[in-house]
């Protein structure tokens, strides 16, 4: 089985993906981590050196490769901005949109000092909310399942995903 997690930055894709993979005894793969290992630099450094369009191209290549694997796949928050990525994601049976309220993802992003996100660092709160609103229809477009994460524990979200995809 393969479960792909999509959602805005701060929605919990990495945290939930890691917990879900352990619960299901499946491989956990993170697209951003895979890219970081491949390019030998952080996503932030790559953004600075080459820009977002070049990063999105690389992301499409990695997504296409990783969707061949079984397990839990956590994607980057902007993966849905690319039409080719949306096309790939819509072909998959279990794409879970981790839907998170803007005030919740802003709080999480401000608290996260280990996973620095270039788009978050360069924008004000209202700009982040506008970016989320630009992407929200794309998350809905690719999702076969939608799980609300606001005010829920990671463990509760994992259980809800398992129920959604039929692996209780």
At residue 86, does pLDDT exceed 70? Answer: yes
**Mean pLDDT throughout 158-168?**
93
Is residue 150 in a domain?
A: yes
Confidence of residue 48 (pLDDT cuts 50, 70, 90): confident
Q: For residue 167, is it within any domain?
A: no
Contact (Cβ atoms closer than 8 angstroms) between residue 124 and residue 79: no
For residue 121, name the pLDDT band (cuts at 50, 70, 90).
low
In a domain, 93, yes or no: yes
List the binding residues for Mg(2+).
14
In a domain, 168, yes or no: no
Predicted confidence at residue 119, as pLDDT, reads 53
Quick one: pLDDT at residue 116? Answer: 54
Helix, coil or strand: residue 85: helix
Choice between 17 and 124, residue whose per-residue pLDDT is larger: 17
Residues 63-87 have a mean pLDDT of 94
The rounded distance, in Å, linking the Cα atoms of 8 and 115 is 14
For β-strands 2-6 and 71-74, DSSP reports them as parallel
Confidence of residue 15 (pLDDT cuts 50, 70, 90): very high
| 156 is a domain residue | yes
Average pLDDT over residues 9-22: 93
- The arithmetic mean of pLDDT across residues 32-57, rounded, is 91
Give mean pLDDT, residues 111-140.
75
68: confidence class by pLDDT, cuts 50, 70, 90: confident
Beta carbons of 24 and 116 less than 8 angstroms apart: no
Domains: count for the chain: 1
Angle among Cα 86, 39, 14 to the nearest 5 degrees reads 55
Give the integer Cα–Cα distance in Å for 75 and 9: 10
Highest mean pLDDT range out of 22-26, 47-51, 128-132?
A: 22-26
Q: What is the mean pLDDT of residues 141-146?
A: 98
Residues making up the annotated binding site are 10-15, 32, 56, 77, 117, 135
What percentage of residues in the chain have a pLDDT greater than 90? 67
Compute the average pLDDT of residues 84-89.
Answer: 96
Full domain range(s) for residue 126 = 2-162
Other C-beta atoms closer than 10 Å to the C-beta of 127 total 12
Q: Point out the annotated binding site for ATP.
A: 10-15, 117
Which CATH number goes with the domain that contains 147? 3.40.50.300
């Amino acid at each position: 089985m393969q479960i792909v997690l999509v959602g805005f930055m701060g929605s919990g894709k990495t945290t939930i993906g890691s917990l879900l993979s352990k619960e299901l005894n499946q491989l956990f793969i993170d697209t951003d981590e895979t890219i970081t290992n491949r390019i030998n630099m952080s996503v932030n450094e790559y953004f600075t050196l080459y820009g977002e369009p070049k990063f999105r191209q690389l992301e499409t290549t990695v997504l296409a490769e990783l969707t061949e694997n079984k397990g839990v796949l956590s994607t980057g928050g902007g993966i849905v901005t690319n039409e080719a990525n949306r096309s790939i994601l819509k072909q998959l049976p279990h794409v879970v949109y981790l839907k998170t309220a803007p005030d919740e993802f802003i709080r999480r992003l401000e608290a996260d000092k280990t996973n620095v996100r270039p788009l978050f660092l360069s924008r004000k709160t209202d700009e982040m909310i506008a970016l989320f609103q630009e992407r929200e229809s794309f998350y809905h477009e690719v999702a076969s399942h939608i799980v609300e994460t606001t005010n829920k524990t990671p463990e509760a979200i994992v259980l809800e995903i398992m129920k959604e995809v039929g692996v209780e």
